[in-house]
């Protein structure tokens, strides 16, 4: 289930983590502790969110200026 913010980014993250965990012999997270896995996942989500929001804000600013 996704929220209404950054739907495409959330979907891409979910698919990426699913593929990385369930690919044949390619589970890069299998040796991580639960705590470390959660940290890695949180960092990935934060990185995607950090990259996404500045673009969204710039788009909103530009559309308001030129409207």
Q: What pLDDT does 65 receive?
A: 61
Q: What is the mean pLDDT of residues 35-48?
A: 88
Residues 11-41 as b or e (16 or more Cβ within 10 Å = b): eebeeebeeeeeeeeeeeeeeeeeeeeeeee
Higher pLDDT: 32 or 67? It is 32
Euclidean distance between the first and the last CA atom of the chain, given in angstroms as a whole number: 34
Q: What pLDDT does 6 receive?
A: 74
Q: What pLDDT does 35 receive?
A: 95
Higher pLDDT: 55 or 2? It is 55
Decide: 29 and 20 in contact? Cβ < 8 Å.
Answer: yes
- Whether residue 43 has pLDDT greater than 80: yes
Q: What is the residue-averaged pLDDT of the chain?
A: 79
């Amino acid at each position: 289930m996704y929220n209404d913010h950054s739907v495409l980014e959330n979907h891409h993250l979910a698919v990426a983590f699913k593929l990385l965990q369930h690919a044949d012999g390619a589970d890069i997270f299998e040796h991580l502790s639960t705590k470390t896995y959660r940290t890695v996942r949180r960092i990935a989500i934060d990185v995607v969110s950090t990259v996404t929001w500045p673009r969204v804000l710039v788009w909103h600013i530009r559309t308001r200026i030129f409207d």
